[in-house]
Amino acid sequence: MNEMDRLLTALREVKDDVDFASETALIDDGLIDSLDLTQILLALDEAFDIHIPAGEIEPENFNDVDAMLALVHRYQS
């Protein structure tokens, strides 16, 4: 499974009624809220073994899956 698939699988486990692959304004449109995001951070931690401090989170990094994957890469290196 490639990284994007792993990310999508992790996200779908958190929330199954959002089309993560095609949405581009997940935060701005309120499709994921703060409770979802907390769970998404845990899911990223689990799927990619990265820890993102809560204070470092910016909304831009969670509006679409490309931005999330870029964030994962930043924390992997």
Partner 1 sequence: MKSMLEMLEATAVRVPDRIAFFDEHRQMTFIGLMERAKQIGSCLTHAAPPRAVIALLLDARSIENIPAMYGVLYAGCTYAPLDVAMPPARLQLMLETLRPALCLTDQKGEKALADCTLQLRTLSLTAAVDAEIDEERLHAVRMQVRPEDPMSILCTSGTTGTPKGSAQTHASYIRWTQATIRTYGFSEHEVFANQSPFFYANSILEVFPPIALGASVYLLPQGVLTFPKRMMELLNRHQITVFCMTPSSFTSVVRSGVLETACLPMLRWGIMSGESMPWQPLSQWMKSTPNANWWHFYGSTEMFSVAVGKVQGSYRADDRLPVGKPFEEVKLLFLNEGGTEAPPHEPGEMYVQSPWVAQGYWRDLSRTTEAWIDDPLGRGDGCFYRSGDIGYLREDGELMVLGRKDRQIKHMGYRMELEELEAALRRTPGWTEGCVLHDKRTDRIFCFYTGDTDENMIRSSLKALLPRYMLPDVYLHLESMPYTATMKLDRNALKEMMT
Residues in touch with partner 1 (CB under 8 A): 27-28, 30, 33-35, 37-38, 53-59
Closer residue to partner 1, CB minimum distance, 19 or 56: 56
Closer residue to partner 1, CB minimum distance, 4 or 35: 35
Angle between helices 34-48 and 3-14 (to 10 degrees): 140
Token pair recorded at residue 48: 């990619």
Q: How far is the CB of 7 from partner 1 (least distance, A)?
A: 19
Closer residue to partner 1, CB minimum distance, 27 or 43: 27
Classify 58 as helix, strand or coil: coil
Residue 49 CB coordination number (10 Å):
10
